[in-house]
Structure 1
Amino acid sequence: MEEKTLKSHKIYEGKIISLRVDTVELPDQKYSKREVVEHSGASAIIPITTEGNVILVKQYRKPVESYLLEIPAGRLEQDEDPEICAKRELIEETGYSSNCFEKLMTYYTSPGFSNELIHIFLAYDVEEGKSNPDEDEYLEVLSIPFDDLLKKIHKGEIMDSKTIIAVMAARQILHLRNKQINAE
């Protein structure tokens, strides 16, 4: 049963997100407020080298006060195609590029309070180049064997949800396709 929006009030507009408060009518005719984080969406890439390594970025994430290992990702520009965003972000953040991209999935990151959609791509046979991160990004680029990455996830050393979801989806697809990556 849907909730009917009666009123919507934007209380914050930032560079990355906006926050609005919606007054809604519930299915039982009662009223409630919903806080909604608006986000333009993002693309993320699980880049795999011909040797079977995954290219990751290590960066400090202020909201969790910690360094995280993540797959490269970035925010969609207005009306931007998600695959174009993925290709751009892969080069910007890591310097790697690929001519072989495959869309794995699209999902809502936190639908209880946000409309952010993230598009996950698998990039095969990535080749090293020169990175060009945003001026406020300080990234360390790492190359990790796929099976070591799985171990890091199971040991709790990787805590970023898009990375975990992408790695598990890629593992399944690569296993089903009998790729030359030891993903078991």
Structure 2
Amino acid sequence: MTRDENWTVLGSRRTRYRFFEIVQEEVKTFQGRTVEMEYARMPEGVCVLPLLDGGRAVACIRQYRHAIRSWQWELPAGGVDAGVEPLEMAKRELEEETGYSAAAWTSLGSFYPSFGSTDQLIHLFVAEGLRSGQQRLEAGEELDVVEVPMETFREMVASGELRHGAALACVARWWAMGSGK
């Protein structure tokens, strides 16, 4: 046995909801034990760090999030539609949520936000050379676009005011790659 092997799935039940599916599986572990596992199967996602004014500001979103009953600071993000490449979805989300389009895009790779409870993979991007346009919000989206100076944005990250997991991963990856010093 190597640690690259998977547990054996003995049985599976799925309950479908609008944006995700709950999967309940009976699995056999490496030690031969049978256990129940549950996780949320979700579509892949994207998150965009939109840089304004040559990186001196960030186009942030302030959006109401009902699950936690509060307004939160975020970066443009969303799910990837079936058959759509992550970069194309990132471009669409940026324009829909902020009204901006970008001249230059950089991939920052991807990450799993919580692989103990979901199989979702989120792709991260930086958008530069922004041009303003018209916001096209989906039904149920209520958000404000705020141009945040980079110094203030750094303070929001450091203080915990920015709590959007995908945004934090995007910023961490961007800073770790030597950008946004």
> TM-score, structure 1 length as denominator?
0.91
Give aligned-pair identity as a percent.
Answer: 24
CA deviation profile, 1:30-88 (whole Å, cap 9, x unmatched) = 10011010101111100001242111111111122211100001111112100000000
Equivalent residue for 2:152?
Answer: 148
Give the RMSD, CA atoms, in angstroms: 1.3
Task: Work out the number of aligned pairs and report it.
Answer: 176
Whole-Å separation in 1 of the counterparts to 2:145 and 2:157? 18
Equivalent residue for 2:118?
Answer: 114
Equivalent residue for 1:179?
Answer: none
SS of equivalent residue, structure 2 residue 175:
helix
Kept in 2, the 8 Å contact 1:49–1:127? The answer is: no
Equivalent residue for 2:31?
Answer: 28
Q: Which runs of 5+ in 2 are unaligned?
A: none
**Equivalent in 55, 59, 66 of residue 55 of structure 1:** 59
CA deviation profile, 1:9-40 (whole Å, cap 9, x unmatched) = 01x21111110101000111110011010101
Structure 1 position 165, deviation (Å): 1.5
**Equivalent in 96, 100, 104 of residue 100 of structure 1:** 104
Whole-Å separation in 1 of the counterparts to 2:103 and 2:149? 21
Structure 1 position 168, deviation (Å): 2.2
> TM-score, structure 2 length as denominator?
0.92
Which aligned segments of 4 or more residues in structure 1 are displaced greater than 6 angstroms?
none
Kept in 2, the 8 Å contact 1:96–1:130? The answer is: yes
Whole-Å separation in 2 of the counterparts to 1:4 and 1:145? 50
Equivalent residue for 2:170?
Answer: 166
Q: Which runs of 5+ in 1 are unaligned?
A: 176-182
Whole-Å separation in 1 of the counterparts to 2:49 and 2:81? 20
